[in-house]
Amino acid sequence: MSDSIENLLERRAILGPAYRLFYDEPLFPVQGEDVWLTDHTGRRYLDAYNNVPVVGHCNGAVVQAMSEQAQTLCTHTRYVHDAVLDYGERLLAHFPKYLNRVMFTCTGSEANDLALRMAFAVTGGQGVIVTANAYHGVTHLLAQLSPSLGAIGDFVRVVQPPLTQSEDAAQAFAQEIRAAIQSLQDAHIKPSVLLFDTVFASDGIFAPDVGLLGLGIDTAREAGLLIIADEVQAGFGRLGSDWWGFVSAGFKPDIVTMGKPMGNGYPLAGVVAKDDLVQKFADTGRYFNTFGGNPVAMKVGMAVLDELEQRNLPEQVDTLGETMQEALLGLKDLGVVEVRGKGLYWGVQLAATDTQTAAERVKLVVNEMRQQGVLLSQCGPNMDTLKIRPPLTFTQQHIEILMQTLSAALQKQCLVNVK
């Protein structure tokens, strides 16, 4: 290493104050391998947080595909290339048949932005409904649709996400959507889109089963809204063999957006939609993305699909998810309020103590876990939830390490007067 971590932290000033680091003692990873990160001192950390390296950090097959294509050709979608078609066909094969068009971007934000442009063009409206603490991306438009970042746009209405699987929650979700539509109409804004993250990640994590969202979605559809499923977090097998959150939840989105794990770290994202929507969008607009869909990105995407399919990773997630759920529920006596999630995406909501808020406690646990060599994070509208989201190459052994460390961290930090 050419510089000390203290110097690096000082030099970070050039990035300005909008950037934030994880952990009280910032981590400086210098190498990644599968589910492990090695820091500048040579210490290894079990990565139970990063969902982008879905098939493992620095996956050899992905890196090889990237390197081979980078040495051959990297252009864009204004030339014919078989890789964009091969990958597009392979990706669409993982979707229901009616979702039969795919467009490529570099980030999840661009995917959501494109999906919204499409929906606005098709519906002629601009009113959007999102969940109360949603995050959908970095652009000016998406920041206005991401209440977790701050103020929302005047064309946006929020609804509480249903975080329990019950008839009451289904009814309440539908009622919230009805009220949001009415509110947009009262403001003379034509409702256009219901957009939500299918695992409600920043709302505190919840993976709905079939039946929970149907009534709300029907309510939106009847009022002429299109449904965009943001699969940036839930997609590519994170919740298990269903591959997508909308499949687990049993509904049919009009448009699906993807990103994060799609390129295992290479900037690759995209939008899948019904052909008639893409046609209507193309009647009035055009689409070109300089880097989106380039041959290197496509070969990377293909290698990710190869790994997921050939190693049956989404199927393994079904079993791993059951182990995780059981193990996490076993922590209930250690001040755990609720365990939510599915597959390899879990939120563990903690209780407050007499002396600490739940958010403070979660922060302590996350930092203690980092000191003990396991990486997690914090989420939820009140930041009261531990966020567990490892690469899909996680195994039962890794779960054991995670659970032992978590149990010890909860005992050490939190056994004082749990309310």
Summarize as ranges the residues that interact with ligand PMP (CB under 6 A).
107-109, 112, 135-138, 197, 201, 230, 232-233, 259-260, 269
| Amino acid at residue number 299 | K
Nearest by Cα to 116 from 98, 150, 148, 141: 141
Cβ proximity to ligand PMP, 258 vs 331, nearer residue: 258
- CA 75 to CA 290: how far, in whole Å? 9
Cβ proximity to ligand PMP, 131 vs 353, nearer residue: 131
Q: Taking the complex as a whole, how short is the minimal distance between the CB of residue 230 and ligand PMP, in angstroms? A: 5
Q: Taking the complex as a whole, how short is the minimal distance between the CB of residue 301 and ligand PMP, in angstroms? A: 14
Cβ proximity to ligand PMP, 136 vs 157, nearer residue: 136
Cβ proximity to ligand PMP, 108 vs 335, nearer residue: 108
In which residue are the tokens 């009261």 written?
384
Query: Could you give the C-alpha distances from 150 to 5, 135, 335, in angstroms and in order?
Result: 32, 10, 30
Give all strands (DSSP E) within 172-231, no chain letters. 191-197, 226-230
DSSP lists the bridge partners of residue 32 as: 37
Nearest by Cα to 35 from 391, 406, 415: 391
Q: Taking the complex as a whole, how short is the minimal distance between the CB of residue 185 and ligand PMP, in angstroms? A: 27
- CA 257 to CA 327: how far, in whole Å? 32
| Amino acid at residue number 290 | T
Q: Taking the complex as a whole, how short is the minimal distance between the CB of residue 279 and ligand PMP, in angstroms? A: 25
What residue is closest to ligand PMP based on CB? 108
Nearest by Cα to 199 from 157, 158, 258, 156: 258
- CA 418 to CA 356: how far, in whole Å? 9
Cβ proximity to ligand PMP, 230 vs 242, nearer residue: 230
Q: Taking the complex as a whole, how short is the minimal distance between the CB of residue 232 and ligand PMP, in angstroms? A: 4
Query: Could you give the C-alpha distances from 92 to 84, 89, 272, 309, in angstroms and in order?
Result: 12, 5, 8, 14
At 90, list the tokens: 């392979």
Residues 45/39, Cβ–Cβ less than 8 Å? yes
Cβ proximity to ligand PMP, 112 vs 405, nearer residue: 112
Q: Taking the complex as a whole, how short is the minimal distance between the CB of residue 317 and ligand PMP, in angstroms? A: 19
> What element of type H or E holds 220?
helix 214-222
Cβ proximity to ligand PMP, 47 vs 197, nearer residue: 197
Q: Taking the complex as a whole, how short is the minimal distance between the CB of residue 242 and ligand PMP, in angstroms? A: 17
Cβ proximity to ligand PMP, 34 vs 230, nearer residue: 230
Q: Taking the complex as a whole, how short is the minimal distance between the CB of residue 146 and ligand PMP, in angstroms? A: 8
Pairing mode, if any, of strands 385-388 and 255-258? unpaired
Cβ proximity to ligand PMP, 114 vs 334, nearer residue: 114
Q: Taking the complex as a whole, how short is the minimal distance between the CB of residue 22 and ligand PMP, in angstroms? A: 14
At 350, list the tokens: 């903690």
Cβ proximity to ligand PMP, 135 vs 336, nearer residue: 135
In which residue are the tokens 């293909």 written?
302
Residues 134/294, Cβ–Cβ less than 8 Å? no
Residues 208/196, Cβ–Cβ less than 8 Å? no
Q: Taking the complex as a whole, how short is the minimal distance between the CB of residue 44 and ligand PMP, in angstroms? A: 26
Q: Taking the complex as a whole, how short is the minimal distance between the CB of residue 3 and ligand PMP, in angstroms? A: 28
φ and ψ at residue 108, rounded to 5 degrees:
-65, -35
Residues 6 or more apart from 4 whose CB is under 8 A from it? none
DSSP assignment letter at 98: T
Cβ proximity to ligand PMP, 243 vs 413, nearer residue: 243
